[in-house]
């Protein structure tokens, strides 16, 4: 139960950070209402992508009904964010402003409101979930390795103030090592897909153009041929002399 609570809290934390830093809104009051639809949408996409047999898109299944309801909620939020930026030119929302001023390189036309909202949803879906996964896993490992936890805490305490800023990152070298090791053992994107644009040969196997390939990030980052004692959580792998 406590592990689930930590994961939930990490998701709410990263969602609030995303809202304040790039979307220009305070999601504290609405984080619970938004986190639910985000998770429903993500789960539906993942389940459908990995399912060997998928129901046709017109079939009104309960899962599809939940996913579409979640999508409508998220689209309303994205349109609300965009509308606020259009009404108030001084509204601080870096990502939204960048999308509003972006143009198509071929036609020179700006993005439509619908296209901007789609891009905002991508950032909301991926920008908080992957970060939360890494944070939750890093905290779990710190809880299991007290010496690593103590060293990280000492490094943060040495800053001399309770609220680190981006300018402090160069001094948080061991903290960064901990995050790198968390990403190695628990990559939020465990598999990356790519489409072959031409026929290629991979270790004696012919891959035809148009084939969708899966690259197992999780497997590579735990491969004993590449990492000594690969299942051990050791931030020292990413020390200055190792990197």
pLDDT, tens digit (0-9, with 9 covering 90-100), for 156-209: 999 999 888 889 999 999 999 999 999 999 999 888 889 999 999 989 999 999
Q: Which residue has the higher pLDDT, 106 or 150?
A: 150
Q: Which residue has the higher pLDDT, 94 or 26?
A: 94
How big is the chain by its Cα radius of gyration, in Å? 21
pLDDT at 228: 95
**CB-based contact 231:222 (threshold 8 Å):** yes
pLDDT band at 1 (very low <50, low <70, confident <90, very high): very low
Sign of the four-CA dihedral 151, 173, 221, 190:
positive
3-state helix, strand, coil in the chain (%, to 5): 60, 5, 30
- Look at the chain and count its residues: 243
Contacts of 1 (CB under 8 A, 6+ apart): none
- For the ranges 11-15, 37-41, 140-144, 148-152, the lowest mean pLDDT is seen at 11-15
User: Is pLDDT of 32 > 70?
Assistant: no
pLDDT at 47: 85
Give mean pLDDT, residues 17-31: 75
Q: Which tens digit of pLDDT belongs to each residue from 72-87? A: 998 998 998 899 889 9
Contacts of 55 (CB under 8 A, 6+ apart): 61, 64
Give mean pLDDT, residues 61-78: 91
**CB-based contact 35:125 (threshold 8 Å):** no
Mean pLDDT, rounded, of the chain: 89
What share of the chain in percent tops pLDDT 90?
52
């Amino acid at each position: 139960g406590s592990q689930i609570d930590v994961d939930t809290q990490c998701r709410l934390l990263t969602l609030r950070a995303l809202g304040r830093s790039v979307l220009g809104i305070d999601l504290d009051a609405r984080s619970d209402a938004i986190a639910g639809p985000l998770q429903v949408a993500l789960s539906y996409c993942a389940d459908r992508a990995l399912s060997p047999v998928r129901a046709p898109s017109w079939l009104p299944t309960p899962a599809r009904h939940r996913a579409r309801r979640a999508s409508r909620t998220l689209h309303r939020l994205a349109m609300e964010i965009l509308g606020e930026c259009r009404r108030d030119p001084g509204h601080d929302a870096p990502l939204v402003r960048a999308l509003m001023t972006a143009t198509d390189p071929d036609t020179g036309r700006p993005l439509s409101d619908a296209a901007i909202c789609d891009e905002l949803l991508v950032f909301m879906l991926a920008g908080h979930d992957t970060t939360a996964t890494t944070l939750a896993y890093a905290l779990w490992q710190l809880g299991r390795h007290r010496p690593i936890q103590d060293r990280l805490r000492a490094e943060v305490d040495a800053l001399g103030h309770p609220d680190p800023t981006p300018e402090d990152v160069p001094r948080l070298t061991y903290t960064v090592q901990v995050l790198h090791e968390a990403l190695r053992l628990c990559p939020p994107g465990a598999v990356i897909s790519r489409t072959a644009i031409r026929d290629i040969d991979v270790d004696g196997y012919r891959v035809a153009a148009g084939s969708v390939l899966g690259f197992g990030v999780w497997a590579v980052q735990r491969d004993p041929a590449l990492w000594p004692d690969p299942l051990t959580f050791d931030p020292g792998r990413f020390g200055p002399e190792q990197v």
